[in-house]
Amino acid sequence: MSLLPPERIERVCGFGMASCADGYVVRPASVDELEEAVREAVRAHRKIVLRGAGRSYGDAAIGAERVVIECTRMNRILSWDPDAGLLEAEAGVTIEQMWRHCLPDGFWPPVVSGTMFPTLAGALAMNIHGKNSFAAGVLGEHAEWIDVWFPASGLQRLTPEDELFSEVIGSAGLLGTILRACIRMKRVPSGDLRVRPTLCGNWDEQFDAFRKFESDADYMVSWIDCFAKGRSFGRGLFHAAWYETDESAKRDSLQPAHQDLPSSILGVVPKSLVWHGLRALNNRSDMRLLNAAKHHSARLPGGKEYRQSLVAFSFLLDYVPNWRMAYAPHGFIQYQSFVPKLRAAEIFAQQIEMQQERKLEAFLGVLKRHRPDRFLFSHGVDGYSLALDLKITPHNRDRIFQLAHEMNDLVLSAGGRFYLAKDSTLRPQDFRASIGPQSLAKYRRLKDTLDPDHLLTSSLAQRLEID
């Protein structure tokens, strides 16, 4: 066994800060350096965890005492063809780099997450979805090809015609390392959206809003007040958005300067300090008030349409840098489940009732519409997802996990699915039941062939027994 440079050890956490592990972090800037990092790990009898920008909430990109290969420095845009809309980029290029590069030519990433900091490889490894999931599906559906380095066989380019393409994308970095990818960017008429808010008084109104707009909206998302009960149970604020076609918007709105987020909120408080205020509010009773206040203030504009930049609409959370520190020191988990449309209203209502009974309400709830896809570890269903941010403390940790396990049972009983980028609580049997024994068996065969020494792992993979 050879020694790893001891000073490489770092505390590495999931975005929610509730899962952390110490690992030997390497940040290769090229494929050669990445291969050397792999060889070094093998010599030191260590397994490897692949990591992008660390925006997965749970334990997907951490691993205790592993060599953590963080791909953020492999971040060159390799080519951009504005005629075809094709962008070729290295693993560590971020969603932010992608839009900044292409928007002046009238293109936007086909699928983005609620933050612009994830890397391309991290986003493909999880197969992210956006607020346009019901129409555009997952990011993997917009890749022309991916270059993957497999431990057993080295470099291979995969296109949608290869079966492996849909098996590697979404497999959480456990089958091979994505080195480069080519993405078909989305042509947009302007850099702005036309946004239409709808105040929903209860669950029925929420789902009515989604059904009303799903045939023609470009984006849909709704925020749920998880504290509301009785007649207001399930209330929240729904937004549908369309690409702004008004010619007057076009030229300026495509410039990054138009998109950039303001550096202060209300023009006074520097936004880098806002999380301190949030932290003071981050307890159950204040969050209940904040959710109620948000609901009532939304009444004011009277559901009028407004214009918003793509960046402001898509990456709202990036407005407040370090907002997650409001959950320090013990962090939070995100619980997102995906339920077929016929059962979604019933299952999500039950989930929130369970939280309310136990006084473990999520501080933030977000509802989205999805569609199924062909990927091996797919989280897509013809239905809805509800994402819940649950604060963790040393006192509630066990109860939160118990709650999550019971919510898992509900989701599984309705044929639902889970999403590894958000997961912290699944047990092996939950994961097996959600993707099905056949898919799992197929994954195990692929793992044995593509990564026969089971070099690629993560805390998540260990927890789900798929390492």
DSSP string for residues in 1-34 = -PPP-GGGEEEEE-TTBS-EEEEEEE--SSHHHH
Q: Is 301 helix (H, G, I), strand (E, B) or coil?
A: coil
Task: List beta partners, residue 383.
Answer: 340
CB of 33 to ligand FAD, least distance (A): 13
Write the burial class of residue 436 (CB in 10 Å: 0-12 exposed, 13-18 middle, 19+ buried): exposed
**Of residues 67 and 71, the one with the C-beta less far from other proteins:** 67
Among ligand FAD, other proteins, none, partner that 3 touches (CB below 5 to 8 angstroms by kind): other proteins
CB closer to other proteins out of 46 and 324 = 46
> In whole angstroms, how close is the CB of 56 to other proteins at the nearest point?
20
Full DSSP string of 169-192 = TTSTTSS-EEEEEEEEPEE-S-SE
Q: 334: helix, coil or strand?
A: strand
Helix ranges (H only) for 160-302 are 163-168, 203-213, 247-253, 256-259, 274-281, 284-297
Residue count (the chain): 467
Q: Does 115 bind ligand FAD (CB under 6 A)?
A: yes
Per CB under 6 A, contacts with ligand FAD among 306-325 are 317
> What track of x and - describes contact with ligand FAD for positions 46 through 65 (by CB under 6 A)?
----xxxxxxx---xx----
Piece of 113-121, 265-273, 341-349, 437-445 that binds ligand FAD (CB under 6 A): 113-121
Do 333 and 57 form a contact (C-beta atoms < 8 A)?
A: yes
Between helix 274-281 and helix 284-297 the angle, nearest 10°, is: 110
Min. distance of Cβ 250 from ligand FAD in angstroms?
26
The position carrying tokens 């063809």 is 81
The option from other proteins, ligand FAD, none interacting with 98 (CB < 5 to 8 A, set by class) reads none
77 binds, among ligand FAD, other proteins, none (CB under 5 to 8 A by kind): none
**Minimum gap (Å) between residue 202 Cβ and ligand FAD:** 24
Residue 334 forms beta bridges with which residues? 389
380 binds, among ligand FAD, other proteins, none (CB under 5 to 8 A by kind): none
Which spans of this chain sit near other proteins (rule: CB under 8 A)?
Answer: 1, 3-4, 6-11, 21-22, 44-46, 64-65
Give the integer Cα–Cα distance in Å for 329 and 278. Answer: 14
We find the least distance from the C-beta atom of residue 108 to ligand FAD, in angstroms, to be 15
Cβ closer to other proteins: 46 or 194? 46
Is 68 a binder of ligand FAD (CB under 6 A)? no
CB of 40 to other proteins, least distance (A): 13
The tokens for 267 are 């023009």
Of residues 161 through 180, those in contact with ligand FAD by CB under 6 A are 172-173, 177-178
Please choose which of other proteins, ligand FAD, none residue 44 contacts, taking the beta carbon within 5 to 8 angstroms, the exact cut-off set by kind. other proteins
Contact range with ligand FAD by CB under 6 A, out of 4-12, 37-45, 112-120, 286-294: 112-120
- Per CB under 6 A, does 128 bind ligand FAD? yes
- Residue 149 pairs in a beta bridge with 155, 177
Tokens 């709704």 sit on residue: 222
Distance, CA of 285 to CA of 309 (rounded, Å)? 33
> Choosing among other proteins, ligand FAD, none, which partner's interface includes residue 128 (Cβ < 5 to 8 Å by kind)?
ligand FAD
CA-wise closest residue to 457 among 467, 443, 465, 447? 467
Choose among other proteins, ligand FAD, none what residue 52 binds, the Cβ cut-off being 5 to 8 Å by kind: ligand FAD
9 touches, from ligand FAD, other proteins, none (C-beta below 5 to 8 Å by class)? other proteins
